[in-house]
Each structure stands twice: as structure tokens, then as C-alpha cells.
Amino acid sequence: MKTFTLDVDYECDFALFGLVSSTRDYTLAWTLNRALRLRLVKQPELLLNLFSQGRLLFTNYLYTTESLTLRLLRNRSIAPSSLKKPYLAPDIKEYDYLLAVTNGSGHLADDELLQRLTALDAVQYACQFDPNSLKYKENLIM
């Protein structure tokens, strides 16, 4: 019997930032709201169902306007898991949170945003990534 494999290549059209922070997700969202003049709102948890291996749950905060979408995601699953790597982006597991920005401009442009993120007391380290270079980039497409 022949089997066919569907090979799909996704293109990510957002800027992705990794954040190292020991604070809770709601505290980090509140800090970002104050520092960047946003209104990140908690959304239902993002469910990643790995059929044979179980499911992973990630906290999810969203800020959206007509021209901008900003999403704060916890990189490690909040649900107990038997997986070795219970991460949303296992490629960059060193980062506690992921910040995806679509159509950022002004004070939310890539370089400016990175400077503002690293200046925050709640963020120990921040780095920008090319989401298209990640092996598990399909986990980030929402």
C-alpha cells in the first residue's frame, strides 16, 4: 500500500522575541502593559495536542489593534507532561517566554522593542529570532 506524505512549508510573517524572566506570566504581562502602553489580555490556554504523546498547555496573552498584533506565550507547558521537552519552541528552550509581534512599528519596531525589553527589571535577557529558521515554527502559527 502506498503512503503519501504532505510536506507543507509555513512562512512566518511576525517578529519573534525570546525573553528570560523568572516572574509569573501575569506579572510579566502587567509589566509589559505598563512599559509599552499595551493592554495584553489573558486568553484561553493554547493547547498543543500531540496525539500519541499527550497534550501541552501554554499561557497566552494577546493585544490586538487594527494594525498590530502582539502575543505573549509561555514557552514551557503549564500542564504536567511526560515529554522530555514540554516546550512550545523546543529549539529555544532556554527562553521562558515568547513574544510574537505582527506589524510592529514606532516604539514596537524590532530594534526599539528589543532595547525596551532588555531595559525592564522583570526581563533578565531578551533576544530576537527569525521564526522561519526554527525547526518547530509550526507550533507558533496561530
Rounded Cα distance between 139 and 19, Å, is 17
pLDDT truncated to tens, each residue of the chain (142 aa)?
A: 777 776 666 666 788 899 999 999 999 999 999 999 999 999 999 888 876 777 888 999 999 988 888 999 999 988 887 777 788 888 888 999 999 888 876 667 778 889 999 999 999 999 998 887 888 777 777 6
> CA angle, 46 as apex, 20 and 142 as ends, to 5°?
90
Rounded Cα distance between 95 and 86, Å, is 13
AA letter at 43: Q
Strands (E), the chain: 15-20, 41-50, 54-64, 69-74, 97-102, 125-129
Q: Residue 6's pLDDT is what?
A: 62
